[in-house]
Amino acid sequence: MSRKIFITGSAGFIGFHLCKKLFERNEQIVGLDNMNTYYDVKLKESRLEELNLYSSSKDLEWEFIKGDLEDKDLLNYLFNKYKPDIVFNLAAQAGVRYSLQNPSAYINSNIVGFNNLLECCHRYQVENFIFASSSSVYGGNIKIPFSEKDPVDHPVSLYAATKKANELIAHTYSHLYNIPCTGLRFFTVYGPWGRPDMAPMMFTKSILENKPIDIYNQGHMSRDFTYIDDIIEVMIRLIDKPAKPDKTFIRDNPNPDTSWAPYKILNIGNSNSINLMDFITTLETELNKKAIKNFLPMQPGDVKITSANTNSIAEWIGFRPNTSLDKGIQEFVRWYKDYYLD
């Protein structure tokens, strides 16, 4: 019997890809997104068009609701109507840098909205709650690679602080109401239909328009770039792997990433941190064009390096992200030219 899957942020980059993949598996999906204007709404609309086209061509069960996580009554109504078995929370105010300009957007969506959603998961007894956290929670940590077992108590942006708060709130609901909760610390996700506020999209646009690209910390940065298809593969596998209580959990020496309750935190990265300048070279090669480089100092809220230890995810689901940057960038550039230039 197919399950009902509720996906928030379904017009967003990751949510869109998740819906598409789930369509291929004939799952019943209800999507929610407030279609906010943080970045070009046309891109969100195009993603939705793509989903609508695909689902109607296959006669799939797909409902999209334009609505906000902050709207408790709407969430209650939707959970009562659809009674989802599985919930993916991908809706959030994303972006590290924007959290210095508009902090309340982060509190409203990522804290108030997140809690509203968990309340519904509790009330309607959801079987599996999977939510987006972020590699940003590692904040000022300098021990590389980042492990889920490391303490993450020193965030350097409000965005990161809200994601860490999500992990804590989820643990509380997991403990109080036995809701299996899995938090995914995504590491710099890129690929087709990506986010215009992130480096791959911003750099590609500027390079093609002969405009300079801003390179922070004089280029001394690295990121664990993770290809979207790998992220989706992880989430698909997690549908049938709800978090379980950790039988080896020791209360007087507690693991930060598991619990006596059904709760799990997982890094979803490529375990291969790439230097920003190497990333730019790969993009230049694929675009067959040199970037005009504008070197700038480090930005407040940013971190110099992200790098994921992915042993936990490999152990849990038998898969770890592995798409090479060359292949990922090739797919991304192909989509970019097709979507923006044709």
Binding site for ligand NAD (CB under 6 A): 8-9, 11-15, 32-36, 44, 68-70, 90-94, 109, 113, 132, 134, 186, 188-189, 195
Phi, psi for residue 104 in degrees, rounded to 5: -65, -25
Rounded Cα gap, residues 88 and 247, in angstroms: 25
Among candidates 246, 299, 237, 242, which has minimal Cα distance to 268?
237
Rounded Cα gap, residues 110 and 312, in angstroms: 25
Report, in Å, the least distance between residue 292 CB and ligand NAD: 25
Q: Which is nearer to ligand NAD, 169 or 260 (CB)?
A: 169
Report, in Å, the least distance between residue 233 CB and ligand NAD: 16
Among candidates 266, 247, 270, which has minimal Cα distance to 256?
266
Contact indicator for 306, 275 with CB cutoff of 8 Å: no
Report, in Å, the least distance between residue 122 CB and ligand NAD: 19
What angle (nearest 5°) sits at the alpha carbon of residue 157, between those of residues 106 and 175?
Answer: 65
Rounded Cα gap, residues 331 and 329, in angstroms: 5
Report, in Å, the least distance between residue 2 CB and ligand NAD: 24
Task: Return all residues near 21 (Cβ < 8 A) that are at least 6 apart.
Answer: 232, 236
Q: Which is nearer to ligand NAD, 109 or 282 (CB)?
A: 109
Closest residue to ligand NAD, judged by C-beta, is 12
Among candidates 242, 248, 243, which has minimal Cα distance to 261?
243
Which member of 159, 173, 216, 336 is catalytic? 159
Q: Which is nearer to ligand NAD, 90 or 243 (CB)?
A: 90
> Exposure of 21 by Cβ count < 10 A (0-12 exposed, 13-18 middle, 19+ buried)?
middle
Quick check: is 339 catalytic?
A: no
Q: Which is nearer to ligand NAD, 150 or 246 (CB)?
A: 150
H or E element that contains 267: strand 263-268
Q: Which is nearer to ligand NAD, 193 or 316 (CB)?
A: 193
Token pair of 19 as six digits: 């819906």
Report, in Å, the least distance between residue 55 CB and ligand NAD: 18
Q: Which is nearer to ligand NAD, 7 or 333 (CB)?
A: 7
Among candidates 155, 179, 197, which has minimal Cα distance to 263?
179
Report, in Å, the least distance between residue 201 CB and ligand NAD: 11
Contact indicator for 273, 307 with CB cutoff of 8 Å: yes
Residue numbers annotated as active site: 159
